[in-house]
Structure 1
Amino acid sequence: MAIKIEMLRCFQAVADHGSLIGAAEALGRTPSAISMMLRQFEEHVGAPLFESARKSRLTPLGALIRAEAARELIHFERTVDAIEALALARAGNVRISCTPSVAQTVMPPILRDFMAARPGVRIDMRDTDSGTVQRDLIEGRADIGLASLPPLPGFQRELLFSDPYGVVCPIDHALEQSWQHLTWSDLDGVEFIANGLCSQIPDADFQPILAASRLMVRNTASILSMVRAGAGVTILPRLAVLPEFLDLEFLPLADTDTRREVWMMMLPDSGVSPAVQALAQAIRGAELDTTG
């Protein structure tokens, strides 16, 4: 018969209380059940663990085993606590891959509240372009992806929000003069900085502007820095214009209804940990300000 954790727990209770009756009361068992469990343990060990039937004094071997049993029971309880914490999403690790605009404008309040409610969960968030977010998901480097993502086999995808595209330029740019009726044609002859999201704009009038671009920049902060430096203007979703760039203007376009769609993508719930499921639910439940 193998040693069971209940045998160790029974033995420790008897040693702690010095009697079968005291151990039975502590464990919520009958004295006869405690006596039988202790006898099975001593038979497995092959030697008595108490010096008398009263169980008030341990044998030298019993004292040694008591120390080992105490360590094992502590380890067992910690293991149980860890398993329950993982199962209840009180612990775990979550890897997020998302676009910079989502990382800087959407995720901070969500992660603040989530981490306060679940202090045992560790978050690893990577901000990158939508193409890399997709690769992170496919190659198993991310549990949750937040970006403009197409459907992927084996993954579940849900729309979080959409926001309008507009021209981003310095606040003193000439395009500001016609911002209330700005159209694609107003960008003819203007130095245009392309970015990774441009491929998601299907408007026919935009394609010649994109084709004429001499500069492609993929990182959002770098794009905005180039615009700030006067290297050209670009097209970005409203939320991608980061708050710290106060000297830049977002100008809506009057002749397009195209919007950037941000999707949350992950494996089905059965394929992810409870911590991932809990964070995904927190993201779903967040109030996102995407007006405009």
Structure 2
Amino acid sequence: MDFTDVSLTALRVFRAVAEHGTFTAAAVSMGYTQSAVSRQIAAIERAAGAELLERRRDGVRLTAAGRIVMRRATIVLEEIEATTRELSGLPGQAGTVRLGWVPSSGAVLVPRALAELRRTDPDLHVVGREGGTPALARALRSGSIDLALLASAPPFRAPDTDSPPLALQTLTERALCVAVPAAHPLARGDYVDVDDLRGQQWITGSSSGGDGLMGVWPGLDERPEIVLTARDWLAKLHLVAAGCGLTTVPATLAAVAPPGVRVLSVHGGPQEQRRLLLARLPHPPEQAVSRVAAVLRAEALATSPHPAGLPRPS
């Protein structure tokens, strides 16, 4: 095996494929054709003398050899990126944390944490992006981000099955709620009975990365009538405010619901809980990463949503 001729482009493509889980998604993210991505992967596998990616029906995942190459490739790419930042006058790697988050945490928790960090740690530079839980788990594995806020639903399995397991901490566990137009008959009470959700019209969003359909109350014993789809939570809530239908929301989003929306708990049937997890790779974190994690934990504890029908914590 000989890595002396492996280009930085090939390393970046390899990281993108590992992060996005498919050649197609990696190609789109980098602005390449799928054939160009395939050529770069073939080149790096020739240099390694081993198969680095296991091709599966639902995408690709790193092999044992692939994890070794990814670990080393991440070091090389991080050093190049740190050099670029230093040359352009941006904060150095020691003061930079790369954070990923699921859309529901981007509405309340992330802005609050970043505001607190600007106040307490003005030299700490946080960069990040929104994504689905499977994509963010792959980004952690590929070294593209340092920390991730991930969503978890029953039965609360780990976000991936790769080894070693990600270090996970539950920041919040809240009941799933339903957002109802203020003029809707269901909005007259302090909560919604699950039986009254049958026959309703729903606003949903099918997220990328394997998170599945979001917006319909889980476990309804009927085929739901989906009237509109929207990608982000805020758009769905504004569609609810316009009287277009109902949608499900984590309780944490009650604080940012627009006028014309009531966020209500649902009674009857099994309670639908949702967890927000803080995830990282299982090695001792840098000081800056630990600081961001501490602020996220504190802000998650301070965030206390109280939609109608939900008891306040004692």
Q: Does 1:161 align with 2:183?
A: no
Structure 1 residue runs of 5 or longer lacking an equivalent are 1-78, 80-84
Per the alignment, in what secondary structure is the counterpart of residue 208 of structure 1? Answer: coil
Partner of residue 142, structure 1: 145
Equivalent residues of 1:101, 1:242 under 8 A apart: no
Amino acid across the alignment from 2:113:
I
Partner of residue 113, structure 1: 116
Amino acid across the alignment from 2:276:
V
Structure 1 segment 49-64 matched on structure 2, within 5 A: none
Give the helix-richer structure, 1 or 2: 1
Q: Report the alpha carbon displacement of residue 204 of structure 1 after superposing the two structures with TM.
A: 7.0
Amino acid across the alignment from 2:274:
R
Q: Report the alpha carbon displacement of residue 249 of structure 1 after superposing the two structures with TM.
A: 0.7
Structure 1 segment 89-238 matched on structure 2, within 5 A: 91-149=94-152, 150-151=157-158, 152=160, 153=162, 154=164, 155-180=166-191, 182-195=192-205, 205-208=219-222, 211-238=224-251
Aligned length: 203
Partner of residue 279, structure 1: 292
Partner of residue 280, structure 2: 266
Per the alignment, in what secondary structure is the counterpart of residue 111 of structure 2? Answer: helix
Equivalent residues of 2:181, 2:245 under 8 A apart: no
Equivalent-residue separation in structure 1 for 2:221 and 2:293 (angstroms): 36
Structure 2 residue runs of 5 or longer lacking an equivalent are 1-85
Equivalent-residue separation in structure 1 for 2:272 and 2:263 (angstroms): 15
Q: Report the alpha carbon displacement of residue 277 of structure 1 after superposing the two structures with TM.
A: 2.0
Equivalent-residue separation in structure 1 for 2:221 and 2:98 (angstroms): 36
Report the structure number with the largest CA radius of gyration: 1
Per the alignment, in what secondary structure is the counterpart of residue 193 of structure 1? Answer: strand
Equivalent residues of 2:204, 2:214 under 8 A apart: no
Equivalent-residue separation in structure 1 for 2:180 and 2:259 (angstroms): 11
CA 1:222–1:203 in structure 2 vs 1: closer, same or farther (change >3 Å)? closer
Per the alignment, in what secondary structure is the counterpart of residue 120 of structure 1? Answer: coil
Equivalent residues of 2:204, 2:215 under 8 A apart: no
Equivalent-residue separation in structure 1 for 2:265 and 2:298 (angstroms): 28
Partner of residue 254, structure 1: 267
Once the two structures are superposed, what CA deviation does each residue of 1:99-156 show, in whole Å capped at 9, x if it has no partner? Answer: 2332231233322232333222211132344344334334433211112144233311
CA 1:116–1:177 in structure 2 vs 1: closer, same or farther (change >3 Å)? closer
Equivalent-residue separation in structure 2 for 1:207 and 1:290 (angstroms): 32
Q: Report the alpha carbon displacement of residue 224 of structure 1 after superposing the two structures with TM.
A: 1.4
Per the alignment, in what secondary structure is the counterpart of residue 253 of structure 1? Answer: strand
Amino acid across the alignment from 1:266:
R
Equivalent residues of 2:198, 2:220 under 8 A apart: no
Amino acid across the alignment from 1:177:
R
- Percentage of pairs with the same residue: 20
Q: Report the alpha carbon displacement of residue 273 of structure 1 after superposing the two structures with TM.
A: 2.7
CA 1:262–1:247 in structure 2 vs 1: closer, same or farther (change >3 Å)? same
Q: Report the alpha carbon displacement of residue 254 of structure 1 after superposing the two structures with TM.
A: 1.0
Q: Report the alpha carbon displacement of residue 167 of structure 1 after superposing the two structures with TM.
A: 1.5
Using structure 2 for the length normalisation, give the TM-score. 0.55
Equivalent-residue separation in structure 2 for 1:201 and 1:190 (angstroms): 12
Once the two structures are superposed, what CA deviation does each residue of 1:64-116 show, in whole Å capped at 9, x if it has no partner? Answer: xxxxxxxxxxxxxxx9xxxxx97xx9x42111111233223123332223233
Q: Report the alpha carbon displacement of residue 234 of structure 1 after superposing the two structures with TM.
A: 0.8
Once the two structures are superposed, what CA deviation does each residue of 1:52-74 show, in whole Å capped at 9, x if it has no partner? Answer: xxxxxxxxxxxxxxxxxxxxxxx
CA 1:242–1:289 in structure 2 vs 1: closer, same or farther (change >3 Å)? closer
CA 1:136–1:239 in structure 2 vs 1: closer, same or farther (change >3 Å)? same
Amino acid across the alignment from 1:228:
A
